[in-house]
Structure 1
Amino acid sequence: MATAAGGLLGREDVRKVLAFGAHPDDLDFGVAGTVSAWAAQGVEVHYGIMTDGDAGGFDPAHRPEIVALRRDEQRAAAARVGVSEVHFLGYRDGYLEPTHDVQRDVVRLIRTLRPDVVVAMHPERNWSSLQMSHPDHLACGEAVTRAVYPAAENPYAYPELEAAGLNAYRVPWLWLYGAPDERVNHVVDITEHVDAKLEAIRVHLSQHPDVAATERFVRAKLAATAAASGLGAGASAEAFHVVAVNSPQTIAGF
């Protein structure tokens, strides 16, 4: 496995990243260390949050305000790791599907921002941790993967977007997190960014009120990922299934 603070690409090659999560807090648990590393290098990072997280939380008193609360939490968490902007797609928590409405919204954001890297949840079920494979997570991964190829780069897909001036765009890289172990082909050493990641996670108090237990779980997971990839003692890492979508050698349809 490759390891690097900035990822597979050289620092000069990553200027903008668009990262998708199904719910507020998914990106903080999955990729916030890598995002912090990118932002520290001057990379512009955007978050796309697909659902409002309206089915989350534990306190009945939060129900009337849960959407606003979770959006506020996500904005604050994103700021902790240097995210430029958070985009909310506004779908209902627990009902996300890779429909054409969802795909069109993803394509619209991709064509608007034109990122070098798109990050999303993995579309394959992870049987070693079923919680990582919440149906919304799988739908997020599938919708983004379909949007990246072929829809974002096909001017005749969702022609209303092209008519609105959002021209077709070929995404160079797709990074998937929450992958089954056998799909992982890249890890990022986030040892210097663990504190920033944990600061982001702490913000999500409506979902994770036991801060100490949450931090122990996250630290253990990051350490195990680093150890499995051969990083030294005391290291922390996040894992990805990285897909090269478009390279200088890519031609249409191949």
Structure 2
Amino acid sequence: MAQEPSKREEGVDRVLCFAAHPDDIDFGAAGTIARWTAAGVVVDYCIMTDGDAGGFSEEHRPDIVERRREEQRAAARLVGVETIHFLGHRDGYLEPSHELVASIVELIRALRPQIVLSMHPERNWDRIQKSHPDHLACGEAVTRAVYPAVENPYAFPELAAKGLEAYRLPWLWFYGGPSHLENHFVDVTEHVEDKMRALHFHTSQHPDVERMDRSVRGFLTANATRAGLPEGRSAEAFQKVPVNTEATIAGF
């Protein structure tokens, strides 16, 4: 049974979050991120695509890329995140290519976070909307970067030549994956309204805001029930994967 974590994970002062599109992080983890930043953790976002295929209105098409970036910047600021790295890949065309993996390795080595948070590389058949092909590509690319490339001193020697040495990441957290793989729940009850306000910034993506609100709040309370939290609590769910911890063995 997953237990409610402390407000700040022990030894964590920096987190790097990856997503395929603007708004993915807010659906998956904005409550947890608000909790981290409130505790003094520095959180960066990396958004892989430009989001140009998203939205529901023809009037938004001419400026959809910049509109979605501004929506994400506003949502990030609300939960305490100041820095967003936009990679600018085309929405709907993301692949876990060598070039994408290299850019992820570069960012992780530069920031050296204790936790990398990413979309999940496995398809969720219970709710396939979680498993947009770009989401899966994001998760696969991050996984390939995290092990072994980030920590292998002989991988991407051009990065080492720039002063970005190999780094042993402690933890990889996934969001948006199959529910049966989720093993870690974060009580976000005190930050639910932060999460919802962050989601509301993504106005280009919500044709029915009231239905979105009901659905998200329902998912949060269902997560709390699965986590064994008291009635009335809300939680976000993750698969927490040790990469370099006391539970792992280097080279295996």
Q: TM-score, normalised by structure 2?
A: 0.96
- Residues matched between the structures, number: 251
Separation of aligned partners in 2, 1:152 and 1:116? 13
Distance of aligned partners of 1:248 and 1:227 in 2 relative to their CA distance in 1, 3 Å threshold: closer
State the partner residue of 2:220: 222
Separation of aligned partners in 1, 2:84 and 2:6? 23
Preserved CA contact (<8 Å) 2:244 2:250: no
Given candidates 67, 77, 80, the residue that maps to 2:78 is 80
RMSD: 1.2
State the partner residue of 1:56: 54
State the partner residue of 1:4: 5
Mapped pair 1:16 → 2:17: no
What SS does structure 2 have at the residue aligned with 1:206? helix
What SS does structure 2 have at the residue aligned with 1:188? strand
Preserved CA contact (<8 Å) 1:198 1:215: yes
State the partner residue of 2:105: 107
Distance of aligned partners of 1:62 and 1:5 in 2 relative to their CA distance in 1, 3 Å threshold: farther
Separation of aligned partners in 2, 1:218 and 1:202? 12
Instruction: Give the CA deviation at 1:74.
Output: 0.4
Aligned residues with identical type, % of pairs? 61
Instruction: Give the CA deviation at 1:159.
Output: 1.3
Mapped pair 1:159 → 2:157: yes
- Residue ranges of structure 2 left out of the alignment (5+ in a row): none
Separation of aligned partners in 2, 1:177 and 1:232? 22
Q: TM-score, normalised by structure 1?
A: 0.96
**Residues 16-75 of structure 1, C-alpha deviation per residue, up to 9 Å, x if partnerless?**
000101100000000000000000100000001010111001111211211101000000
Preserved CA contact (<8 Å) 1:189 1:226: yes
* Aligned residue runs from structure 1 range 1-254, under 5 A: 1-4=2-5, 6=7, 9-10=9-10, 13-248=11-246, 250-254=248-252
Distance of aligned partners of 1:97 and 1:6 in 2 relative to their CA distance in 1, 3 Å threshold: farther
Preserved CA contact (<8 Å) 1:173 1:245: yes
Preserved CA contact (<8 Å) 1:5 1:34: no
Letter in 1 for 2:196: L
